[in-house]
Amino acid sequence: MAQFAAKDLNAKTAVLYLDSSSDYSKSLGKIFKEKFEADGGQVVMEEAFLAKDQDFKAALTKIQTANADVIFVPAYYEEVGKIVKQARELGITAAILGTDGWDDSKVIDIAGKDALNNTFFCTHYFEGDAEVQGFIESYKKEYNNDPNVFAALGYDAGKMLINAIERGGEDSKKIRDSIETIKDLPVGTGKITMDAATHNPIKGIVVIETKDGMRSLRTKIAPEG
């Protein structure tokens, strides 16, 4: 999202608004700042909230004075919906950016369609992509509703485990070693390769734009290198 802000939105300044009770939020804020400033941008303000907070207007009023190009809110949809709604009520029109914690249709119910205009978040797949239709159709058939991002990641993890067992057998060490060597494995959200050194998945992401309550694919970002 730092790359997207700097290169796609031509943002020069950013505010971080983080959930201080969440390692997920704080770590993403740290990396965003490093990457955004490496791309020539400047983080001009950092503010924090706590999960389950309801009123964000005091901090948002302060954030408004920064007049930044973008506001980065790496948090989960319950707080995100309220933050976006209250930001727009205060007259904040800057682009608001997020991560896969936004990836739930309930954020639209909470924030409202108009408030989510000029917002963008990155996640693991776009429901309109041809390569993810098999997963989506299977999920709908089994559960009679649309999958969210957590269902998709659970499906990916299951596919990785099955692949590891098929290649290495059921011994726990062999499963571990096989997972470490996964390369270009087709899963529900695309393809995954595991980094043997760090054990991080190497995979592309998508950036989703919300406009008038409808989500569309803004861009895809491939892994570096």
Q: Which residue has the tokens 């791309």?
A: 39
CATH T-level assignment (fold) for domain 130-202? Rossmann fold (3.40.50)
Q: List C-alpha distances in Å: 112 to 8, 42, 107, 203.
A: 25, 30, 8, 31
* pLDDT given at position 146: 87
Give the global pTM. Answer: 0.90
Domain locations along the chain: 2-124+204-221, 130-202
Chain segment 14-63, per-residue pLDDT in tens: 999 999 999 999 999 999 999 999 999 999 999 999 999 999 999 999 99
pLDDT of residue 149: 86
* For range 185-199, the mean pLDDT: 92
Same fold, 2-124+204-221 and 130-202: yes
List Cα–Cα distances, 210 to 120, 168, 217, in angstroms: 7, 43, 9
pLDDT tens digit sequence for 169-188: 999 999 999 999 999 999 98
- Please say if the pLDDT value at position 154 is more than 90: yes
More confident position, 133 or 47: 47
Out of 3.40.30.10, 3.40.50.1000, 3.40.50.2300, 1.20.200.10, the CATH code matching 2-124+204-221 is 3.40.50.2300
Other beta carbons less than 10 A from residue 52's beta carbon: 9
Q: What is the pLDDT of residue 100?
A: 94
Cross-sheet strand order for the sheet of 201-202: 185-187, 190-194, 201-202
**What mean pLDDT is reported for the chain?**
95
- What the block records as the tokens of 137 is 């159709």
Q: Is 4 helix (H, G, I), strand (E, B) or coil?
A: helix
pLDDT value, residue 225? 61
